[in-house]
Chain A
């Protein structure tokens, strides 16, 4: 029997607000334990939550960017359970009336047609704190609770069970990641947990209409792990069924070291969260004007920008996609082309030297030492014939190291291209005399020796000779 996997993802997106969702404490990562707390996020008696409006703003942006409708009157609810990292004994979340509903994203898996994945809902909620065990400053033994993260704003984005493979899941996840970082509402840092994913996975016989029993897999916090965890889980479930066993509904934990999942709690052990509307918060009313204002202020999204790059700058689909991988990258490109018309050259340099240098040094495009203006200056030197493309790479290296103007570097290092035919002719003559044997071989028909002569001339000119002039003169002298 062949099996069809069915996958739905629940993604927690930590919002990049300066303060927490229900109090004024800072959301900065990595501070001294419990230094960023107040009566509200500590859950002290008598403390009350006050909603951070920025969180609502970000949630609406996320909803609009994922084609959701915005709920005019959404409600916060309490999710009740006991755990030491949950100060109030309940998490403030949304249940019956989430802020965004009924959205979708179109995903593209290589070699397949584009596919629409439904988004059931996006809701706002507060994060919990975290437990720390031994070996922490001020804690000699046992476990402690750090509530700095408590009350940090999260969006939970819940997809429909529309995904059919780990590749689709990763594609969906990457696109969602791209959107929230593009909007600037999330820093996208998966290692620090700013973007985390739980996957619901089930399998059913191909052609079946009835969904199989699903397992929820927690703690899959990189694109690679999502793929691994889902593939492992699909295999595990298929093997169970083929062995005549049944899949049980449960929560499973992904172990990144072994690449496997293991049972965390069964359905019977599942919590009854006793959701009910939080009486401390009034319903959140969002009128059409608010939605429209947010829509008007929404930045051009990656998909739209990619299309525009293709039509406006005549880029290939591949180039346009690479250049819109992040908003900063796209903006770097646009900053360059605004100064320089040859978009293709900008594109080539960004996808070549710049990407390589960024990767080698682990720098992000926002911190690129070669600014768009400097790159354009460099390209102008190539176009004007001052330096060759080859020399330009040397100049680029020097720019990356020193941040100096390309013209200055060319000047200082004497890298100006030599196009003067007299000077080049002299070099050529010298080479042809020295390599008389090779010349004879060439003339007797060994054409591919031409490259050898070009190389020798370039070497003798320290790369500065204009290659076009070299070619032309060499050819006439060898043939002559």
Chain B
């Protein structure tokens, strides 16, 4: 209860400067905290009992408005909760609120949210990253002990990198997607954003596992992720893909990567130069597959059963058109149109089918590389956080900010972002560790060892 009250006070104090929340669930938080206190008193607690958390507004919460950052769902109160949140809640975690995000998780800067700007706690003129911008900003601004995000093309890792926190995207199928508003179903995955790697391991342990309500969730046993945090990476083979260390990489990012590699060398890890030859095609492939799936996933927002419905419609078609025109923002409309086009008769083979084939090649790139190495180390993003408004008129530039994270989603494997340094301007820079499918343990171990050897994660944004 103390922790929850302190966190609610902190949210109230700094929220005007950050904007990480869409909804603060005051009453729910106090009720959860009270229940947690009772549980602690009875001795039935776990690591997460009473821990104040906040979750991206993409997770359905029964009886609590869930907007997905969209005007379309401004009035949507779900009748059920996402499996992932239910799991955390069943451990006695406390819900502080629902976090800001890009509309329907489409964006890399949180600027497509219909619920106001979210600012980077390290420099409030900069974006926090996206789409889980509020999830990263809330951790960095110490408005929550940990948060939940979703990652379709980098939406956990990129904001974690920009806000200096630990962001983990588990393997596709590791965590249930049930009750998570779908953007691109074959790419979406739920994961935690935390202050350090241990918290990440605890959160993943609670989230992972098969869900009978999600056919794509996998029954692979859930290991004890905390036990994987041995502190050693001696002999660990780390791959450096040449396609990710390209000329033109931001010098601060390059410097940070060099230093990180040096740190791992000191810890007796081995480095192997590898190639992921189809990397160049990843962004194009992603923007065909993700938008195709999105165009279909977002068809249910038609104004018939829930969400925004235009009031002045003259007939069915007009109701559809107006409701969707009014409810969706520009980026969402752009992606729906791109995806509809990619699936259209006459274009399907040239776009969607071809993209699927390239996706297979990208997957094979990773599988081949993992024959030689245990983890792959890359930057998370080509630059530190950029200024608010800097790229919002240039979708292509915006899309390229996910160039290093997108291939992981296409391959379906796991990866995380770990704080690895700061730019000259004082903005956090993360390093990305990519693991084999369902081998979150190894990237957690590598991240933890790095964290032990550095102090980046202990720095706090001054607010």
A480, CB-defined interface residue at 8 Å: no
B68, CB-defined interface residue at 8 Å: yes
Contact among B214, B293, B301, B316 for A84, CB-based, below 8 A = B316
Q: Which residues of A contact B178 (CB under 8 A)?
A: 46-48
In whole Å, how far is B353's beta carbon from the nearest beta carbon of chain A? 9
Contact of A82 with B78 in the complex, beta carbons under 8 Å: no
In whole Å, how far is B448's beta carbon from the nearest beta carbon of chain A? 32
The 8 closest A-B pairs by CB, nearest first: A89-B299, A279-B186, A274-B343, A279-B185, A46-B179, A45-B181, A272-B345, A43-B300
Contact of A276 with B348 in the complex, beta carbons under 8 Å: yes
In whole Å, how far is B326's beta carbon from the nearest beta carbon of chain A? 16
Q: Which residues of A contact B216 (CB under 8 A)?
A: 48, 279-282
Excluding A46-B78, A48-B214, A89-B300, 13 further A-B contacts by CB distance (< 8 Å) are A39-B80, A44-B300, A45-B66, A46-B82, A46-B180, A80-B295, A80-B296, A80-B343, A82-B302, A272-B344, A274-B296, A275-B343, A279-B184
Contact among B299, B304, B352 for A90, CB-based, below 8 A = B299
Q: Which residues of B contact A84 (CB under 8 A)?
A: 302, 304, 316
Q: Which residues of B contact A49 (CB under 8 A)?
A: 215
User: Which B residue's beta carbon lies closest to that of A83?
Assistant: B316
Contact of A45 with B76 in the complex, beta carbons under 8 Å: yes
Contact of A44 with B79 in the complex, beta carbons under 8 Å: yes
In whole Å, how far is B436's beta carbon from the nearest beta carbon of chain A? 20
Interface of chain A residues 252 through 299 with chain B (CB within 8 A): 272, 274-276, 279-282
Q: Mark A77-89, 1 if CB is under 8 A from B, else 0.
A: 0101010100111
**Given the known A-B contacts A84-B304, A279-B186, A282-B215, are A48 and B177 also in contact in the complex, defined by CB atoms under 8 Å?**
yes
Contact of B60 with A82 in the complex, beta carbons under 8 Å: no
Could you tell me the distance between the alpha carbons of A337 and B212 in the complex, rounded to whole angstroms? Answer: 49
Could you tell me the distance between the alpha carbons of A46 and B343 in the complex, rounded to whole angstroms? Answer: 22
Contact of A276 with B82 in the complex, beta carbons under 8 Å: no
Contact among B304, B306, B345 for A44, CB-based, below 8 A = B306
Q: Which residues of B contact A145 (CB under 8 A)?
A: 304-305
A-B contact count (CB 8 A): 101
Could you tell me the distance between the alpha carbons of A55 and B6 in the complex, rounded to whole angstroms? Answer: 53
Q: Which residues of B contact A276 (CB under 8 A)?
A: 292-293, 296, 343, 348, 352
Q: Mark B59-98, 1 if CB is under 8 A from A, else 0.
A: 1100000101000010010111010000000000000000
Contact among A43, A78, A275, A280 for B215, CB-based, below 8 A = A280
Q: Which residues of A contact B181 (CB under 8 A)?
A: 45-46
Contact of B215 with A88 in the complex, beta carbons under 8 Å: no
Contact of A78 with B305 in the complex, beta carbons under 8 Å: no
Q: Which residues of B contact A82 (CB under 8 A)?
A: 299, 302, 320
A42, CB-defined interface residue at 8 Å: yes
Q: Which residues of A contact B194 (CB under 8 A)?
A: none
Q: Which residues of B contact A48 (CB under 8 A)?
A: 177-178, 213-216
In whole Å, how far is A2's beta carbon from the nearest beta carbon of chain B? 37
Q: Which residues of B contact A89 (CB under 8 A)?
A: 296, 298-300, 302
Contact of A87 with B305 in the complex, beta carbons under 8 Å: yes
User: Which B residue's beta carbon lies closest to that of A50?
Assistant: B215
User: Which A residue's beta carbon lies closest to that of B299?
Assistant: A89
Size bracket, chain B contacts = 35 or more
User: Which A residue's beta carbon lies closest to that of B66?
Assistant: A45
Q: Which residues of A contact B80 (CB under 8 A)?
A: 39, 44
Q: Which residues of A contact B301 (CB under 8 A)?
A: 45
A398, CB-defined interface residue at 8 Å: no
B411, CB-defined interface residue at 8 Å: no
B182, CB-defined interface residue at 8 Å: yes
Q: Mark A41-75, 1 if CB is under 8 A from B, else 0.
A: 01111111111000000000000000000000000
Contact of A90 with B79 in the complex, beta carbons under 8 Å: no
Q: Which residues of A contact B180 (CB under 8 A)?
A: 46
Q: Which residues of B contact A80 (CB under 8 A)?
A: 295-296, 299, 343
Contact among B214, B300, B340 for A87, CB-based, below 8 A = B300
Q: Mark B200-216, 1 if CB is under 8 A from A, else 0.
A: 00000000000011111
Contact of B300 with A88 in the complex, beta carbons under 8 Å: yes
Contact of B215 with A46 in the complex, beta carbons under 8 Å: no
Contact of B302 with A280 in the complex, beta carbons under 8 Å: no
Q: Which residues of B contact A51 (CB under 8 A)?
A: 215
Q: Which residues of A contact B184 (CB under 8 A)?
A: 279
User: Which A residue's beta carbon lies closest to that of B72?
Assistant: A45
Contact of A42 with B305 in the complex, beta carbons under 8 Å: yes
User: Which B residue's beta carbon lies closest to that of A40?
Assistant: B213
Could you tell me the distance between the alpha carbons of A44 and B60 in the complex, rounded to whole angstroms? Answer: 10
Could you tell me the distance between the alpha carbons of A376 and B320 in the complex, rounded to whole angstroms? Answer: 66
Q: Which residues of B contact A274 (CB under 8 A)?
A: 295-296, 340, 343-345, 348
Contact among A39, A42, A44, A280 for B185, CB-based, below 8 A = A280
Contact of A44 with B78 in the complex, beta carbons under 8 Å: yes
**Given the known A-B contacts A82-B320, A280-B185, are A39 and B79 also in contact in the complex, defined by CB atoms under 8 Å?**
yes
Could you tell me the distance between the alpha carbons of A46 and B296 in the complex, rounded to whole angstroms? Answer: 13
**Given the known A-B contacts A84-B304, A87-B305, A145-B304, are A46 and B182 also in contact in the complex, defined by CB atoms under 8 Å?**
yes
In whole Å, how far is A44's beta carbon from the nearest beta carbon of chain B? 7
Interface of chain B residues 320 through 357 with chain A (CB within 8 A): 320, 340, 343-345, 348, 352
In whole Å, how far is B368's beta carbon from the nearest beta carbon of chain A? 24
Q: Which residues of A contact B306 (CB under 8 A)?
A: 44-45
User: Which A residue's beta carbon lies closest to that of B346?
Assistant: A272
In whole Å, how far is B170's beta carbon from the nearest beta carbon of chain A? 17
Could you tell me the distance between the alpha carbons of A274 and B180 in the complex, rounded to whole angstroms? Answer: 24
User: Which A residue's beta carbon lies closest to that of B182?
Assistant: A46
In whole Å, how far is A179's beta carbon from the nearest beta carbon of chain B? 30
